[in-house]
Each structure stands twice: as structure tokens, then as C-alpha cells.
């Protein structure tokens, strides 16, 4: 696909700039991926600065460059200087691909926890209703006819707009997507036309990036500030930040919670080892819920998804069947029976709040004389303040903890483990330099009716070590003990 530079970047031009009407055949952020005819956008990252690679992009055939105005010398191709190249990326990507989200119904889900499960449930509901729907997030893209490739929770603006364009052309009508705070802060979704925005909850996370909880909140709030009047905002009324988020938007707002003090709530709710059942009231509508998902937090995820479906006018029968059919979310409270009679649970939990919810639920499932073993670590180059807190919470609920590496990235795994164990008050833990060895020891130790909770990685199939992604799978190891 080829478009003129004037067509895709006309809003970026300064009055004094004279840009020739040249053709652009693609948009790239990585100079090593540039092909002849591409537009290269130079972005300053945390480790590398795209401005240092402008000449490389030109040598590879770039027809034009967008930069932040930094002096990079005379260039042999047109250069558009902007204040914010990240914002410019979103603008030109949407223009290049023809603003595809204007032709789609887009549901954006943001919050610290629950995004993937809520997205999976609403995807199940919409699919049950016969609506051609795609799901985008940490599980990759789930869409009939498309390959499911895991990527960032929310991809870069170019990849997003390209994906939306392909889905539109394949006659998809609805997109359910997770929207991360990083994506909002970095303008990746600035030119996405959201029809529904959903807020699940807010607890401390990504403070290595946002620095403060307030900054983290403000990043999330961008999603609600960008909503037009014809969109709908849906917020968790049991979270104080949810009520605050409702004040950030001019769009009509629906609130949900387990209590009956909000517009959408449970009239009846039973949570047990076998799952979740109850009735959800939404004005004059009532939805009967039966789900094999476990835990109070999943009851909250279910009502969030039902609120979305209700706002979209989905039929009652399709909502109820869609909830019932969504029985497993990959990497979220996945249960595996072991040959020892124990059970292994894989969950992506990687925040103190998620630990408390997951381990609290599993503790309630245990027999009085059974053990809960927890295998976990903490990601490197991420917020270190949560590490001892995760240990403190794990110690409350577990019989023993197995501390292992979990994507150490460029940090020393030993240092990460030391910071984790500083949160323990007793000696109910063991430290392993290999996650595989720590997991195997936990699985070997578990006997009849015990539970081994394997937290942090979910269905990830790698360990991120010094910039390299080495193959590793918790699930593959667990299956050897079934």
C-alpha cells in the first residue's frame, strides 16, 4: 500500500516546512526493518534513541523522516520535525491505514488486574451472539483466520492500526482489547476510536516506569478522557479509583460492583470450589450466571464483562451462555491434576494484589491438613518495592515458598531473590537459581490434596535473561508430573 506523505502527515507540517509530495510505502520505528519507500520515525527509548539511526534508515531506503527536531545534520530526504514523535506515530499510522477503528466497535479494558479475563469473557459472549470479534492483549490476537502471536499487552501504534485494518477488511465488527498504562502514556492508542472503555481496578504496579501511583492513575485516566459523548465508560464502583475515573470522562458512565449500590450488581452470588453462580441485576434486566471460574476476583471480572455486553445490547441468552462457555483462560487459574493426587495451578499473578486474591482463593479450597506450596519470583528491571510484599502475602497463605528466577532481564537473579526473601518473617522458603529446579522440587514435595501455585509467568514460554529469550515453560514441566 502506497500513500503520499502529504496525505498521512498533513497535520504535522509547520507552516514554514516545504515537504515534497512523495510516496510512502510503509512506516517503521526500527531502522533495521526499513525498506525502500518507508517513512522512518525516530523515537527516543529507554535504552536507544532512534535519532542515532536516522542515517541507517536513509541508507536502507527511507523516503522521509519524522524527528523531534534534534540536530542530525543535513539529510538527503525530507524531515518533518515534531514536538512528540510518539504522538506523531499514532497520527500518521491511523491516516496511513485509513482510520480503521471508525468502522469497528472497539472495547478497551484497562486496570491493574483482570484485563485478560474480562476480555476473554466478553469475547466469549460476543462470539456466542454471532458477532465476529477479535481479542487483543497479553494472550496475543485471538481471531478466526489469524495466527495467535503473543506480543506486548498493547502493541505499538503502527502494528495496532495495521491489525485493525486487516480485521476490518476481514469483516470483523468488534474488537476487545487490553489497554496498558504504557500504551496510554506512549500514545499508542491515541487515535483509536473507542466505543466502550472499561476500568477494572488500580493497585501499585509499573512504578518503575510511572514512579508514583498517582502518575499510574493519570496514565489510565487518559483512556476515559479521550472518550467522545457517544461512547460508554464502565467502571468498577467498588474501587475508589473507579469512582474517580468516572469523573474523568464526558461519556455516559455505568458502574458495576458486587454490592447493590451501583447500577449493575449481584443480587445473589455464590462462590465455591466448583465455580461462581448468581444473578446480576442491570436496571430492569437480570442475568443468571453459572461459571466454572474460581474466586471473588473472577466474580468481579464476570460482572465487568456482563456490564459491557449489557451496554452493547447483547441478548440475555447469549450473555448467559457466553459466560458459561468461558471455562478456562490460558495462564489464569489453570488447574492440572498431578499423579501424586495434588493439583498444580498456573496463574499470571505478578502483583501483591493479585497474589492476595489468588492465594486467598486457593487457601479456601484446601483441606485442613493439606499444603499450599507457592513457586514464584519477580521480574528484573521492574518495580522492586513489590518484591518483599509478595513474599509477605505468600507467607500468610502458604506452607512453603519456592523462590525462583522470573524474567530477570538485566538484573542479577540473586539480588532479586534476596529482595524477595527480605519480606519473609520465618524460614518457610527455599531459594533456587533455576526456576525449573524450584518448580520440580515443589511438584515432588506435593502429595494427595496439596496445591502447588505457580505464579508470575502464566503460559509464557521463555525466560528473559540479559536481553535473550531462552525457552522455558512452567506448563511443560507440570505435564511431566501428571
The pLDDT, as a whole number, for residue 21 is: 81
Question: Model-level pTM?
Answer: 0.84
**Do the domain assignments include residue 312?**
yes
**Do the domain assignments include residue 89?**
no
The pLDDT, as a whole number, for residue 274 is: 80
Same-domain status, 116 and 240? yes
Instruction: State the CATH number of the domain containing residue 464.
Output: 3.90.190.20
Same-domain status, 250 and 309? yes
pLDDT band at 48 (very low <50, low <70, confident <90, very high): confident
CB 309 within 8 A of CB 415: no
CA distance to 2, 34, 38, 41, 340, per residue, from 26 (Å): 7, 8, 5, 11, 55
Angle between helices 115-128 and 316-325 (to 10 degrees): 130
**Do the domain assignments include residue 173?**
yes
Q: Final residue of a domain: which of 325, 344, 363?
A: 325
What DSSP element (H or E) covers 471?
Answer: strand 468-471
Residue 57 has pLDDT above 90, yes or no: yes
Same-domain status, 235 and 340? no
> Degrees (nearest 5) of the Cα angle 115, 117, 340?
130
Tell me the pLDDT tens digit for each residue of 330-355. 888 898 999 999 999 999 999 998 99
Same-domain status, 425 and 460? yes
Residue 223 has pLDDT above 90, yes or no: yes
The pLDDT, as a whole number, for residue 204 is: 63
Residue that the C-alpha cell 525516530 belongs to: 42
**Do the domain assignments include residue 91?**
no
**Do the domain assignments include residue 169?**
yes
Residue that the C-alpha cell 506523505 belongs to: 5
pLDDT band at 329 (very low <50, low <70, confident <90, very high): confident
Tell me the pLDDT tens digit for each residue of 234-256. 999 988 899 899 999 999 999 99
Same-domain status, 200 and 313? yes
Same-domain status, 461 and 353? yes
Instruction: State the CATH number of the domain containing residue 182.
Output: 3.40.1190.10
Same-domain status, 313 and 393? no
The pLDDT, as a whole number, for residue 209 is: 67
Residue 151 has pLDDT above 70, yes or no: no
Same-domain status, 125 and 235? yes
Range in 10-14, 172-176, 336-340 with the lowest mean pLDDT? 10-14
**Do the domain assignments include residue 157?**
yes
Residue that the C-alpha cell 498504562 belongs to: 181
Domain count, the chain: 3
Rounded Cα gap, residues 365 and 360, in angstroms:
9
**Do the domain assignments include residue 391?**
yes
**Do the domain assignments include residue 456?**
yes
Instruction: State the CATH number of the domain containing residue 19.
Output: 3.40.1390.10
- Of residues 301 and 45, more confidence is placed in 301
Residue 367 has pLDDT above 90, yes or no: no
Q: What percent of the chain has pLDDT over 90?
A: 76
Rounded Cα gap, residues 257 and 296, in angstroms:
11
Range in 361-365, 369-373, 393-397, 448-452 with the lowest mean pLDDT? 361-365
- Of residues 470 and 72, more confidence is placed in 470
Gap between the terminal Cα atoms of the chain? 50
Grid coordinates standing for 431?
531459594
Residue 264's DSSP bridge partners are 256, 282
CB 372 within 8 A of CB 398: yes
Rounded Cα gap, residues 195 and 233, in angstroms:
9
pLDDT band at 422 (very low <50, low <70, confident <90, very high): very high
Q: Final residue of a domain: which of 305, 325, 345?
A: 325
Q: Which domain holds residue 374?
A: 334-479
Range in 171-175, 215-219, 283-287 with the lowest mean pLDDT? 215-219
What DSSP element (H or E) covers 66?
Answer: strand 64-67
Same-domain status, 204 and 304? yes
Q: What percent of the chain has pLDDT over 70?
A: 97
Q: What is the DSSP letter of 15?
A: T
Range in 93-97, 204-208, 229-233, 284-288 with the lowest mean pLDDT? 204-208
The pLDDT, as a whole number, for residue 70 is: 85
Q: What is the mean pLDDT of residues 76-92?
A: 94
Grid coordinates standing for 295?
474466586
Tell me the pLDDT tens digit for each residue of 376-414. 999 999 889 999 999 999 999 999 999 999 999 999 999
Grid coordinates standing for 469?
529469550
The pLDDT, as a whole number, for residue 101 is: 98
Residue 288's DSSP bridge partners are 279
Coil, strand or helix: which one is 164? helix
Q: Final residue of a domain: which of 325, 351, 377?
A: 325
The pLDDT, as a whole number, for residue 205 is: 66
pLDDT band at 153 (very low <50, low <70, confident <90, very high): low
- pLDDT mean across residues, the chain: 92
Residue that the C-alpha cell 536507544 belongs to: 48
Same-domain status, 274 and 341? no
- Of residues 194 and 283, more confidence is placed in 194
Rounded Cα gap, residues 117 and 114, in angstroms:
5
Q: What is the mean pLDDT of residues 231-235?
A: 97
What DSSP element (H or E) covers 376?
Answer: strand 372-376
Same-domain status, 387 and 441? yes
The pLDDT, as a whole number, for residue 208 is: 62
Same-domain status, 339 and 366? yes
Amino acid at each position: 500500500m502506497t500513500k503520499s506523505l502529504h496525505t498521512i502527515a498533513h497535520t504535522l507540517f509547520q507552516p514554514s516546512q516545504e515537504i515534497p509530495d512523495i510516496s510512502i510505502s510503509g512506516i517503521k520505528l526500527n531502522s533495521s526493518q526499513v525498506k525502500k519507500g518507508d517513512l522512518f520515525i525516530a523515537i527516543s527509548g529507554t535504552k536507544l534513541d532512534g535519532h542515532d539511526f536516522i542515517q541507517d534508515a536513509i541508507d536502507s531506503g527511507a523516503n522521509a523522516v519524522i524527528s523531534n527536531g534534534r540536530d542530525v545534520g543535513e539529510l538527503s530526504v525530507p524531515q518533518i520535525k515534531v514536538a512528540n514523535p510518539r504522538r506523531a506515530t499514532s497520527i500518521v499510522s491511523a491516516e496511513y491505514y485509513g482510520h480503521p477503528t471508525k468502522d469497528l466497535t472497539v472495547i478497551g479494558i484497562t486496570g491493574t488486574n483482570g484485563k485478560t479475563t474480562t476480555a476473554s469473557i466478553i469475547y466469549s459472549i460476543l462470539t456466542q451472539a454471532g458477532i465476529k470479534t477479535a481479542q487483543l492483549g497479553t494472550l496475543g490476537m485471538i481471531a478466526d483466520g489469524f495466527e495467535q502471536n503473543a506480543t506486548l499487552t498493547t502493541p505499538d501504534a503502527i502494528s495496532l492500526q495495521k491489525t485493525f485494518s486487516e480485521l476490518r477488511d476481514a469483516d470483523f465488527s468488534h474488537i476487545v482489547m487490553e489497554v496498558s498504562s504504557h500504551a496510554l502514556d506512549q500514545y499508542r492508542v491515541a487515535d483509536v476510536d473507542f466505543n466502550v472503555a472499561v476500568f477494572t481496578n488500580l493497585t501499585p504496579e509499573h512504578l518503575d516506569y510511572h514512579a508514583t501511583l498517582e502518575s499510574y492513575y493519570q496514565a489510565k485516566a487518559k483512556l476515559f478522557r479521550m472518550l467522545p459523548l457517544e461512547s460508554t465508560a464502565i467502571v468498577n464502583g467498588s474501587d475508589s479509583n473507579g469512582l474517580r475515573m468516572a469523573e474523568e470522562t464526558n461519556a455516559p458512565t455505568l458502574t458495576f460492583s458486587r454490592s447493590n449500590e451501583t447500577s449493575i450488581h449481584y443480587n445473589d452470588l455464590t462462590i465455591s470450589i466448583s465455580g461462581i453462580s448468581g444473578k446480576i441485576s442491570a436496571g430492569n434486566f437480570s442475568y443468571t450466571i453459572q461459571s466454572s471460574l474460581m474466586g471473588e476476583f473472577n466474580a468481579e471480572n464476570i460482572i465487568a464483562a456482563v456490564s459491557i455486553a449489557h451496554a452493547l445490547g447483547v441478548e440475555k441468552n447469549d450473555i448467559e451462555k457466553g459466560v458459561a462457555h468461558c471455562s478456562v483462560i490460558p495462564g489464569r487459574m489453570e488447574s492440572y491434576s498431578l499423579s501424586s493426587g495434588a493439583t498444580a495451578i498456573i496463574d499470571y499473578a505478578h502483583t501483591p494484589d493479585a497474589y492476595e486474591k489468588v492465594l486467598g482463593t486457593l487457601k479456601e479450597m484446601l483441606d485442613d491438613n493439606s499444603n499450599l506450596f507457592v513457586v514464584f519470583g519477580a521480574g528484573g528491571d521492574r518495580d522492586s518495592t513489590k518484591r518483599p510484599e509478595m513474599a509477605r502475602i505468600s507467607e500468610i497463605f502458604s506452607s512453603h515458598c519456592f523462590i525462583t528466577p522470573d524474567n530477570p532481564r538485566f538484573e542479577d537473579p540473586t539480588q532479586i531473590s534476596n529482595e524477595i526473601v527480605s519480606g519473609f518473617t520465618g524460614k518457610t522458603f527455599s531459594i533456587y537459581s533455576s526456576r525449573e529446579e524450584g518448580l520440580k522440587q515443589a511438584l515432588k514435595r506435593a502429595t494427595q490434596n496439596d496445591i502447588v501455585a505457580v505464579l508470575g509467568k502464566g503460559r509464557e514460554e521463555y525466560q528473559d535473561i540479559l536481553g535473550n529469550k531462552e525457552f522455558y515453560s512452567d506448563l511443560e514441566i507440570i505435564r511431566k508430573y501428571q
